[in-house]
Chains A and B, each alone.
Chain A
């Protein structure tokens, strides 16, 4: 069961553009993680957010956890070809983790 909906599902942009990926749910999560995955590899953790309204920055990436801890966003500034990959959000509640539907990002040089 997919409890987390990501949008957009596919995104193709030019190098240097900005973008935002959304992760929405009707459920409340105690924590939320964002992962980036390249083809043929396992997902790599980017960030974990645990507090409603929390904002974390990782170089050109800005992550925000919604006040109600039901949604999150990932904003990338000045995208680069190296940002290309599948971005996954995952919400944790107790010992359960649920993944978002995924956003496939392609940054064109």
Chain B
């Protein structure tokens, strides 16, 4: 089946620095990828929809200058948390819409734990 891979799975960074998280679709080309943030025992909160070759669409309340999304190819989207603060510490998950033989199903990455100290 479709596989979406995220890297790194865990990252610790100092307050004020930037950190990049990668999301790759391994078995298919993903024209659309999604980035979510999740707090413990809560559902996924959509941050932005990333479209290959165009600007990401951000959900209301998400700072696009703080959470930079780049979808430069059909298999890779990146989320950069700029000037990170401790309140940005969270579980970040990406997903990709398979399309084609994978239909309209979303496949998720393994998630990335970000801790800002």
A-side interface residues toward B, CB under 8 Å? 1-2, 6, 10, 30-31, 33, 35, 39-45, 48, 86, 88, 90, 92, 95-102, 104
Contact = CB atoms under 8 A, between A and B. Distances in A.
B111 A90 contact: no
A30 B104 CA distance: 9
Interface string B41-59: 1111010010000000001
B28 interface: no
B116 interface: no
B88 interface: no
Interface of B: 4, 6, 32, 34, 36, 40-44, 46, 49, 59-60, 91, 93, 95, 97, 103-111, 113
User: Which of A10, A31, A99 lies at the interface centre, i.e. has the most chain B CB atoms within 10 A of its CB?
Assistant: A99
5 contacts: A6-B43, A41-B111, A45-B107, A48-B105, A86-B43
B43 A102 contact: yes
Contacts of B109: 42
A103 B13 CA distance: 31
A43 B103 contact: no
Contacts of B59: 1
A88 B106 contact: no
Contacts of A45: 105-108
A30 B97 CA distance: 14
Contacts of A96: 49
A99 B32 contact: no
A95 B32 contact: yes
Given A10-B41, A35-B108, A40-B113, 18 more contacts: A1-B60, A6-B43, A31-B105, A40-B91, A40-B111, A42-B6, A42-B108, A42-B111, A43-B44, A43-B108, A45-B106, A45-B107, A86-B43, A88-B43, A90-B106, A95-B97, A97-B95, A97-B97
